[in-house]
Amino acid sequence: MTRTIHAAVCAIALGVASGLALPAHATIIGGAVTGGSSASAGGVFVKVFPSPGAPDDLFNVTATIDTVGDNNQQSHNLWGFDEDQNIVLPTNFSVDILAPGGSLGVLTAGTLVASHYVYYDPVNANIEGWVDFDAPILAILTSTTNMNATDFLANTGVTYLNPGLRGLESVDFAGIDAGNPYRVNIDFTASNPGDYIRVLTAFSPSAVPAPGALALLGLGMLSASVLRRRSK
């Protein structure tokens, strides 16, 4: 029994050390609605969390999301949530906006990315605004094809609906701010089924072991030491 418990603690500690099971939020660090009919209607930026939700200390709200896409929000708000963090791309991926130039391009295999989903799903309105991240933007995906190709980065706590028009249309704009590589600027006009983009940033410094996790790592190392002594 004692050996089993010690082994379990050590296994958990190893998981902490490798960063395999340490979900962290706060990679989206700000946002605002600055113009358009949705601004006049009281729209704001809201960072949401996959259900079950957690308090958002940045915006003083608790917002959860279960399903995104295809007219599920019908709101004047601009929304965003974090997807998979600090993932190594297994192959090359085409992107619609590549930093720093903002043109079509390719993110190469081996690139470390943190993924985020930003969307706007009103009945029929337009919006201007921005979203800030805790790491510089590498690329933005705005086309249905490129978003579908990177859905392996999706948040498993969210159901994604994939209408044929997911992404942006010709009247919409998304781009990396010329003076701030951590910010995406948007100008969307949407009705059915809404506008959606995926933003890929560099390594997210927020998605690292928390102090409690590091304490657990220390406990695991201590347990391993005790186990070795008892085995002698």
SS3 at position 134 = coil
Task: Classify residue 170 as exposed, middle or buried by CB count within 10 Å of its CB (0-12, 13-18, 19+).
Answer: exposed
State the chain's maximal CA–CA distance in angstroms.
73
Is the model's pLDDT at 7 over the cut of 50? no
Q: What is the pLDDT of residue 29?
A: 94
pLDDT score, position 64: 63
Q: In this predicted model, which residue has the larger pLDDT, 214 or 163?
A: 163
- Of 118-127, 162-171, 187-196, the range with the lowest mean pLDDT is 162-171
Per-residue pLDDT tens digits for 92-108:
999 999 999 999 999 99
The mean per-residue pLDDT over the stretch 35-55 comes to: 83
Q: What is the pLDDT of residue 120?
A: 95
Domain residue ranges of the chain, discontinuous segments joined by +: 1-22+209-232, 25-208
Host H or E run for residue 60? none
pLDDT of 1 above 80:
no
Q: In angstroms, rounded to a whole number, what is the distance separating the alpha carbons of residues 164 and 90? A: 26
Give 61 or 41, the one with higher predicted confidence: 41
User: What per-residue confidence (pLDDT) applies to 118?
Assistant: 97
- pLDDT (0 to 100) of residue 173: 98
Chain-centroid distance, C-alpha 138? 13
Arithmetic mean of pLDDT, 66-76: 83
How many Cβ atoms sit within 10 Å of the Cβ of residue 144?
16
pLDDT at 157: 79
How does pLDDT run across 185-213, given as a tens digit for each residue? 999 998 888 899 999 999 877 765 444 43
Q: d(Cα 185, Cα 84) in Å, to the nearest integer? A: 22
CA 29 to chain centre: 11
Question: What is the torsional sign of CA 150, 151, 155, 158?
Answer: positive
Return the higher-pLDDT residue of 191 and 118.
118
What is the rounded CA–CA span in Å between residue 69 and residue 87? 24
- If one compares 41 and 156, the residue with the highest pLDDT of the two is 41
In whole angstroms, give the CA distance from residue 107 to residue 92: 6
- Tell me how far CA of residue 88 lies from CA of 91, 107, 109, 111, 162, in angstroms: 9, 11, 8, 5, 24
Say which DSSP state 151 is in. Answer: G
Q: Which of 18-22, 133-137, 163-167 has the lowest mean pLDDT?
A: 18-22
DSSP β-ladder status, 112-120 and 137-141: unpaired
Is 130 a residue whose pLDDT tops 50?
A: yes
Chain centroid to CA 129: how far? 18
Query: Which residues sit opposite 18 in a β-bridge?
Result: none
pLDDT at 218: 46
- Return the axis-axis angle of helices 2-18 and 211-231, rounded to nearest 10°: 140
Token output for 128: 């201007």
